[in-house]
Amino acid sequence: MVVPLQTTVGSPVAIAGTVGLFALFLSVTAHIAARNVLGDVAIRNAFGVGPLPAGIAVLSTTFGVSAALALPLALAADAALIKYLYDRPWRLTLYVVAIHLVVTIILGALVFSLLALWQSAPG
């Protein structure tokens, strides 16, 4: 029996590193979003938010699940974790999730653009 993770290019360590870095990135953007909406919050809460959406993203890509299904699932997991960890009303939780999505898109585009610029530099 062949499991899709066995057919991907890269070792299990590389896959785990990708999930870990993406979880760290999502945790940092979650903390930025929570600080902007809620004010002074503990950073340890943000480290609980990042891993589940990162795992959903990597598994959905691995198994070929449509982004139209994976994105709402990741956002729902994000909302549930933010609601549980920060203990805020649903309306405020959804606002934090929306800001988290925006911050993630903006910071992700910035990091990707800087990496693409760095790789295309002469020399």
In this structure, what token pair is assigned to residue 15?
Answer: 């896959």
- Number of C-beta neighbours around residue 62 at 10 A: 14
Q: What's the pLDDT score for residue 68?
A: 93
Q: What's the pLDDT score for residue 20?
A: 95
The per-residue pLDDT string of the chain (123 residues; one tens digit each, 9 = 90 and over) reads 555 555 556 778 888 898 999 999 999 999 999 999 999 999 999 999 999 999 999 889 888 899 999 999 999 999 999 999 999 999 999 999 999 999 999 999 999 999 999 999 887
pTM for this prediction: 0.86
Q: What's the pLDDT score for residue 121?
A: 85
Q: What's the pLDDT score for residue 3?
A: 56
Q: What's the pLDDT score for residue 57?
A: 92
Three-class SS of residue 75? helix
Q: What's the pLDDT score for residue 2?
A: 52
